[in-house]
Each structure stands twice: as C-alpha cells, then as structure tokens.
Chain A
Amino acid sequence: MTPRPGFVLEVDGSTPPTLFWKGEGFTLERLPEGSRVIYAPEPLDALKDPVGAIRHALEHPLGDSAPLSALLRPGMKLTICFDDVSLPLPPMEAPDARQMVIEEVLDAAATAGVDDVVLIAALALHRRMTEPELRHALGDRVYEAFAPHGLLTQHDAEDPENLVHLGKTSEGEDVEINKRAATSDLLVYVNISLVAMDGGHKSVATGLASYKSLRHHHNPTTMRHSKSFMDAPSSALHTSNWRMGRLIADSGVKVFQIETTLNTDTFPSQFAFLQRREWEWTLRDRATYTATAAALDATPGRLARQIFHSIKAPHALTSVQAGEVEAVHEQSLVSVWRQQGVVVEGQSDIVTMGLPYICPYNVNSIMNPILVACLGLGYFFNLYRGKPLVREGGVLIMQHPTKPDFDPAFHPSYIDFYEQVLTETTDPTEMHKLYEESFATDPWYIHLYRTGHAYHGVHPFYMWYWCAHALEHLGRVIVLGGDPKAVRRMGFSPASTMADALEMAKDVVGPSPTLTHLHAPPIMLADVQ
C-alpha cells in the first residue's frame, strides 16, 4: 500500500485528544475546535536492496565526479569522514547507514589497493563519541579494523597540529578544517540527511572545522537570517557554508560526498502508536498508550531516560547518492522533502508542540533546559519552508518538563552558561559580545572537549543562537509543564495546563486565536504557503 502523505487535520467535536510529547513521557490534550494538527507523511518504503543501491551510487556519481573506483589508486591517501552521534534521531537499528556505506567504500578501497585509510568522526564542536557509539555507527568489523591501530579518529577542533587554514571566502570567512582530511588525495564524506538542513557543503565546512571557522556562521546574526535552516536558499547559515565549501573545493580538496536519506519510521513496534494518527488508534494502541503513559509517570526520571535512550529507530534508507557535493545534495533534498514535506495553508496565531526526550545533542544523556529551548525554538520552529507556522508576534507553546538537570560530563559549559550567562542576559547578541569568547577559549572546557566527552565550551551559545530567529519572531514562548524557575530563567513563561497556556497566549494574540499543532516526531517539514 502506498504510504499516505502528510495531513493537516482540522479539529472538530469528534476529534480525539491529540498526543503531546513531554520529554520522557507523553499526554493527550484536547485542542480547541478549529485547531489544525499537522501529521507527518507515513514512512516511505525502504530501498529493497540498500547495499546494491549504495554500490550503484558509488559507481554512478552525480555531478562532475568520476566513479569512486576511478578515484582510488594504490599509494593514495584516503580519508573517510562521517556524521557523528547527533544523527539520526533516535539512533537507528543496526546496521547504521554509515556502516553500510563505509563498508562498501572500504571494499572498493581494498580492491583498488589503497592502504592509507583513516576514518574521522566529523564532530565539529560536538562531544567525542564513545566506543559503543562508534561501534554502533560503524559496525564491529570496521571498528576492530581501524580503532586498535589509531586509524579511527575523531575530529579535534582544538588540535592546531591537525588543522589547516585554506584561506578566506569572499566575505572574509576563515576556512580552517581538519588537516588529514584536507591533505588527503580523496576525502569521502558519509552523511545521513535526517532533515533538509543536513548535508551538502555543511558536512565538511562545519563537521571538520575549527572554532575560528565556525564562528563565521554560528553567530546570532547568521542564525537570525536563516529562515529557515531547512531551506538552504533562505538560510544565511547555509550560504556561508556553501561559500566555504566552494573555497575548500577550489583549494584542491577533492571531496566525494555520499548522502543517505531515511524514512520516518521512527519508533519500534511497541511504540507504534506514537506515529499513528489518534483517530486511527486501535484498541491495542489505546491500551499501550494508557499503560505506557501511566508507567512512565511512575518511573524515576533516570530510569525513564535510560528506557527511552535505549530505543533504536527502525529507520530505513530511502535513497543514497554520491559524487560532487552540490549535485548530490540537490538529490538528497528531493528525497527528504518527498518523505517529510507537508503543505500547510497559512500561518497561525499559536503553534503548539510536544518536545520529546531527545535532540541532536543529548543522545544517551540529559536534555537540559538549553537543549529544550534549542529543540523547540531552534529545530521544531524551523521545520518550515516559506513562512514560519506561527505568525510574527505569535505564541509558541511547547510542552516539556524542562528540569534544570545537566550532564556534567557531556555538558559542563552548559551548567555555567545556565548559571552565569542566562542569569545576566537571554539576548543572543549581548551574550555573544560579553561571554562567547571567554567560554570558547576556556582551557578547562577545551581540555574536557579534547580528552573527555564534553561538548565544546562555546556549544551552549550556539544552541541559544539557534533560537535567535524564533526569539525575534515570537511574541511569547510558553513552556507547558516546565519547571517554572528554569523556564523563567530562559525568559519564557511557565504554564501548568493547556487551558492556562492558551489563556496566557490570548493575552498576546487576542481572544480568538488560530492554533496549529506540530505533531512531531516523526519529523515533518511544513511547506507554509
């Protein structure tokens, strides 16, 4: 049966309550009649022969690129870089897309007699992956073949010995990336395009860059002018990355880009109700929801987190394309939009969303308040093309417990950002001027980033900048069910019930507001017309 496209439901008297995520749990909320609920398209069919599709892509490249086999030769220096643990979400069931692709690339390299091969996790300023995470992404076979010999590395944006400055773009942006990758005869980049923002020149220009380079596009000005991150032509972030990517290519760095796209099959069968439309829930779905929601409410937070972070998504490959970066990415975007695009007519006064337990930066960790803000205002708000789902001056209501809990190993600078920066200012521009550099150059954060599993010291700033467009656009942000102190610390308004939240929203948008609910995950991209 052909998967059904996305759907915009208008709530009426017979519409059952709508599922809202709230971190490690969920609730059902009854939305006002006339509200709209946007549902993601159903998962596209998986590629029947993913390995065959990968091989085909490698040998039939897009754009101005020779087949991979023609680019490989004995004695060459080959570097394979891959997206890190932030993709996909939730982590996919084995085999991971990266494993499937890299195994084929390595087979091709072995066939061609290439001996000098290094794998690099393209972390940018993210935390280093743990061994289990690397094994999951690459498979045990690849891990065992490379890691013990020091040939599986993780990009270190603070290692001056392994960075190379390739020049400045026409806009004066420094392009400084991983030296091993830049000085290889061939750089193969293995990507997972979970959303339209991923991939393209952003893979290398961001994933392998230094702070000196990243700061040119990860700043409040660029973020405010990225409308949205999911629409590259309208995204200053992408425009900057494209300038950098072209400079990288012009510098003689030969990039062979391999991009994969996934379907929206997000949750395993025991959580199937999470990606079904409520009026289609079976008796079993209702029973599962009731039992699961009740059990989660009674489960200690740490245990609930462990349960959710053990979820592996049954994501399946929907496409794979390889070759020249821009040509490849163009094709990836077609696949992503085919899977995730939903046409929506017009904006609303209010947009509601339930935020789940995971975002790109808390895999196997805690979703702290800054990441809650980033997921809601940075990611979900930006899941649009054309215009935001909520009108300018409108209200965003997002549900999440927003507890002021932090993972000190993964997010040490987040703690200080929360306690020492957000207490002084929530304005992205002001914090950029006053605090960013001291966090970015803090020797302890750098030490923890390089030797532990900590996000870089500047990372919480980037998360906040990620919210800059939404913060400028919205009249109010209401966090439903959030810890009041934490919510207020971030400049948002807490509400304990949906009814309260809607009343508060009416103070901003008027007495008869229009409302749209973004029923994610699964992820969708709203094409707002």
Chain B
Amino acid sequence: MKALLFERSLPRFAASRIASGLGSGRGARVAPLRLVDADAPDLPGAGWHRVAPLLSGICGSDLATLDGRSSRYFEPLVSFPFVPGHEVVGTVEVPLTSADGTGLTPGARVVVQPVLGCRARGIEPMCSSCAAGHTGDCEHVAFGHLSPGIQTGFCADTGGGWSTAGLVAHESQLYAVPDILSDADAVTVEPMACALHAVLAAPLREDRVVAVLGAGTLGLATVAALSHLAAQGLLPVPAALLVGARYAKQQTLATELGASAALSPDQLPRAVRRHSRSMATGSVSSGAVSSGRLTGGADVVFDCVGSAESIGQSLAMVRPRGTVVLVGMPGRVTVDLASLWHREVRLVGAYAYGTETVHERERSTFDLAIDTVTAMRTGRLVSATYPLNRFEEAVAHAGAAGRRGAVKIAFDLRATTKGGRR
C-alpha cells in the first residue's frame, strides 16, 4: 500500500516556498511530500473505523501547505508526519452507524467530515462549540487521545485521503453517500459543506446584490449553494448573483450553477456598481470603477480567494454596513482597512462546518451539502484525477487548475479500492 506522507523538514519547506514562486503547485517536487509504503493507521479507539478512499481531492489549503505558504498560525494545530487529503469519498470495511444515523454495510460509500472535534477525540465534557454542534470551532483540536490536527489530513494519527492504505475516521465523521451520486459528486461534498456554512452564516436579504469573488472549487460551490438554497426557499433570492471568475471555463460553470453574470475579477466591481445602482467615487473624470470605491455596493461579498488583493477588492465592492465573508483561507496579508472602519463593514470568517439552522430547523452541514450536491451535481467540477504515483503532476495541475481549464483535481484510488461509482 502507498501513501503520500508530508513530513516536517524546514529546508524542504523553504525550498517549496521558493519553488511555489513560479506558480502554485510547483513546490510539490521539492516539498517534504513523498510517496511511501504505508499500512493502515491503527484505530485510535472505540467508534473509529477504517475507510478506504476512492477519490480524494486536492484543496487550496493542501496547495498552500505544499507550497510553504500556510500561515504559521496552524503550526501547533497539526502533527507530523501526516497524510494529506481531507476531501474524501471512500468505503467502510465493517457495519456501522454513520453520523446521520444510517446503518452502513461493508463496502458502503461514505464521505468524511474531517474536523477532529471533541467527539472524535474522546473528550468529555465537550467544549461549548462542539456541544452546540459547531464542530468546526472545536476548542480541543490539539488535545485528547489524538495528536494535534484540525482535520483528518493534517493529523499524524488518522491518515488522510491521499493513500491506498486508507485512513481512520470516527463514526461521527462519516456520512452515507446516496447511490445517485457519483464518486466525483461525493468528493465535492466537503467543499460544498464549507460553502454552505459560509452562505448560511451571511446576513443575506431579499433582492440585494451578492458578489462571489473567485471561482475555484470553493467559489463555484458557494454559487451553487446560494442558487440551490434560494431555489428551495431556504435563503432570500438575490437581485443579482455576480461572480468574479478569471478563466472562461470558470465563467461557464458559474453561470451554469446559477450566477446572474460571471465576469473577470477586474470587471466585477463594475458589475456590482451597475446592479447596485451605485455611484463610483474618485473616478468621475475617468469613468473607471476599479480605481475608486462605490457609494453603495453588494450586500454581501464572499471572498473565495483569501489574498490581500481579493480582500481589498471585496472591501471596495461591499456596501456600507455590508458583510465580507472570507471563505477562502487567508494567510498573512496586508490590507488597507480604512474603508472597513469608515463604512462599518463586517469582515467575517467562515471555516468548515457543523450544525446549521435553516428555517428554525437544525441540520448538519454535511447533510445539507449532500442534498445540494445531489441537486446541483457538482461532480462536474472534478476535471481530472491522477493515481498517487503521479502526485507531482496532480499537484501541479491543481495549482494551475484555472489556467488549464480545470477546477477540482483529485487522486483516484479506485484501482485498489472496490465499490466506486463513476
């Protein structure tokens, strides 16, 4: 059995950071990631089970780790060496009851909710966040009987999806995959859950302008989540859902998933201005928008990039007292916050998932994500899959996904795992 193992190596961290300067994903060749022979991790305790991965996605946070661009904030929250891969669809080996109460038989497909919260860590009493169902906000991700790790795929004890040896997951992390979903659909459940969590936390209002900046997997999942929930009557219908997408394929997908318009990011402020019937200040003589700020703007901007540039652009597009939701993982950035202060803008983070309240009914984010993926068939976002032994190509492809007309790149482990659905 094989697995991709990520080790602590300062020289290799430095090398990958330098290499990633040539482009995201370019650091994989020199990063402390290597293909190793591996056995399945030991089961940490009661309620834990082995999962054989079928597909496992390469996420933006994985790329940031491989490129040496992750914030040092995470250093105490991970444990080395670990097998990456937190977007996972796989099969279980033994009968068990999943987090949503489904009885699973051996070979049944599951998706992994990767947050390693109090329940998975066997911590009693649970922290207040876990007790309230907000697993993503768990206060104990560095404690309990597991090594530190905010998620499966960042913890030395659990393994991760980039492995034919499999991973271990607590039954509270496992959700049954409906037969109707392909493996590709299922591997998008985790990013969809992130998007749903962000969308449901935002103060959306009827007939207002909503902007999504960035149209990688998270951006497109956010668009799909907004469209699906609005169509279901679970969210207010926006006056316009405008998406900043750099590449043609992303623009096409954004429109297919329900965007009113998908434009290049530099044109997004112009579209927000027009749909919000705003004026642009500081540009009366030039007629330009990007150099100025809007008098009004979008009610909510979902920043699905997380860079200094995207945060700055989001602040320039949001209305006074509006909200910018950081969906994409930011790192250390330098941003001018004058407009945030002056316009009383709310800048909020949206990480992971847990329990959502929709129309006064509590549901797990993963349940909602499975429904949304079923409705929107987001398996279409999976553009290419690779075997583990071509991991350098896979990571390079993921790093240049947009430019190469792709969205989600995943590892295909089905050669060693039975039971997949293509």
Which residue numbers of A lie inside 8 Å of B, CB to CB? Answer: 407-412, 415-416, 419-420, 423-424, 438-439, 442-444, 447-448, 451-452, 454
Within 8 A of A (CB), among B310-355: none
- Any chain A CB within 8 A of the CB of B280? yes
A-B contacts besides A420-B261, A442-B274, A452-B287, 14 pairs, CB < 8 Å: A408-B287, A415-B267, A415-B287, A416-B270, A419-B263, A419-B271, A420-B271, A423-B263, A444-B274, A448-B284, A448-B287, A451-B284, A452-B284, A452-B285
Q: Closest CB of chain A to B253's CB: distance in Å?
A: 15
Q: Closest CB of chain B to A414's CB: distance in Å?
A: 9
In the assembly, what is the distance between CA of A293 and CA of B270, in Å?
A: 38
Please state if A415 and B270 are interface contacts (CB–CB under 8 Å). Answer: yes
In the assembly, what is the distance between CA of A452 and CA of B285, in Å?
A: 6
Q: Closest CB of chain A to B274's CB: distance in Å?
A: 6
Number of B residues near A (Cβ < 8 Å) is 18
Residue of B nearest to A454 (CB): B287
In the assembly, what is the distance between CA of A137 and CA of B283, in Å?
A: 28
Residue of B nearest to A457 (CB): B274
Q: Closest CB of chain A to B54's CB: distance in Å?
A: 38
Residue of A nearest to B275 (CB): A438
Please state if A424 and B261 are interface contacts (CB–CB under 8 Å). Answer: yes
SS of A interface (majority): helix
Q: Closest CB of chain B to A504's CB: distance in Å?
A: 23
Partner of A438, one of B261, B274, B280, B286: B274
In the assembly, what is the distance between CA of A444 and CA of B277, in Å?
A: 7
Please state if B287 and A419 are interface contacts (CB–CB under 8 Å). Answer: no
In the assembly, what is the distance between CA of A412 and CA of B286, in Å?
A: 8
Inter-chain contacts of B278 with A (CB < 8 A): 444
Inter-chain contacts of A439 with B (CB < 8 A): 274
- What are 6 pairs between A and B in contact, CB < 8 Å? A410-B287, A412-B288, A419-B267, A420-B267, A442-B274, A447-B279
Instruction: Say whether, besides A419-B270, A420-B261, A442-B274, A412 and B287 are in contact (CB < 8 Å).
Output: yes
The 8 closest A-B pairs by CB, nearest first: A412-B287, A408-B287, A408-B288, A419-B267, A444-B279, A409-B287, A408-B286, A416-B270
Inter-chain contacts of A408 with B (CB < 8 A): 283, 286-288
- Any chain A CB within 8 A of the CB of B273? yes
Please state if B261 and A447 are interface contacts (CB–CB under 8 Å). Answer: no
Most buried by B among A408, A415, A444, A448: A444
Residue of A nearest to B288 (CB): A408
Inter-chain contacts of A409 with B (CB < 8 A): 285-287
Partner of B277, one of A412, A442, A454: A442
In the assembly, what is the distance between CA of A448 and CA of B286, in Å?
A: 9
Q: Closest CB of chain B to A351's CB: distance in Å?
A: 32
Residue of B nearest to A447 (CB): B279
Most buried by A among B264, B270, B273, B288: B270
Residue of A nearest to B267 (CB): A419
Q: Closest CB of chain B to A125's CB: distance in Å?
A: 15
Inter-chain contacts of B271 with A (CB < 8 A): 416, 419-420
In the assembly, what is the distance between CA of A452 and CA of B261, in Å?
A: 28
Inter-chain contacts of B283 with A (CB < 8 A): 408
Inter-chain contacts of A444 with B (CB < 8 A): 273-274, 277-280
Residue of A nearest to B242 (CB): A420
In the assembly, what is the distance between CA of A443 and CA of B278, in Å?
A: 7
In the assembly, what is the distance between CA of A64 and CA of B273, in Å?
A: 52
Q: Closest CB of chain A to B319's CB: distance in Å?
A: 15
Inter-chain contacts of B277 with A (CB < 8 A): 442-444
Most buried by B among A407, A411, A443: A443
Q: Closest CB of chain A to B257's CB: distance in Å?
A: 16
Inter-chain contacts of B286 with A (CB < 8 A): 408-409
Q: Mark B58-85, 1 if CB is under 8 A from A, else 0.
A: 0000000000000000000000000000
In the assembly, what is the distance between CA of A419 and CA of B264, in Å?
A: 9
Residue of A nearest to B266 (CB): A419
Inter-chain contacts of A454 with B (CB < 8 A): 287
In the assembly, what is the distance between CA of A218 and CA of B262, in Å?
A: 29
Partner of B284, one of A410, A424, A438, A447: A447
Inter-chain contacts of A416 with B (CB < 8 A): 270-271, 274
In the assembly, what is the distance between CA of A423 and CA of B287, in Å?
A: 21
Q: Mark B280-304, 1 if CB is under 8 A from A, else 0.
A: 1001111110000000000000000
